[in-house]
Amino acid sequence: DQQVKQNSPSLSVQEGRISILNCDYTNSMFDYFLWYKKYPAEGPTFLISISSIKDKNEDGRFTVFLNKSAKHLSLHIVPSQPGDSAVYFCAAPSGGGADGLTFGKGTHLIIQP
């Protein structure tokens, strides 16, 4: 039972254009979402988060949008840069007040020069 889904295993975007990574969730109890970025042989690095009381959160080139009715969130990166090439994970707290996260399977973003 995959509660957080990233349906695109990979995405290729030209440098300078906008990258849009999508994530769907099934558990209506999720009220906080995070995006992590991961390079090979390194641990995930926190990028940006959003609480369910908001529908948008922006941090520099990164913006996360949350559509609660559709149970969908997206990460926009603009403009895309070569260093953005990595695997991006969407995550939500597992619940119960504890700090475990449920992750999607990730989207490998490739920025082409």
Residues of the shown chain interacting with other proteins in the complex, contacts defined by CB under 8 A: 31-32, 34, 36, 41-46, 49, 51, 89, 91, 93-106
What is the closest distance, in whole angstroms, from the C-beta atom of residue 77 to other proteins in the complex? 19
Closer to other proteins by Cβ: residue 53 or 70? 53
Give whichever of 27 and 79 is closer to other proteins, judged by the CB atom: 27
- The Cα angle at residue 59 between residues 48 and 34, in degrees rounded to 5: 10
Asked whether the beta carbons of 6 and 104 are under 8 A apart, the reply is: yes
In the complex, what is the shortest distance from the CB of residue 42 to other proteins, in angstroms, rounded to a whole number?
6
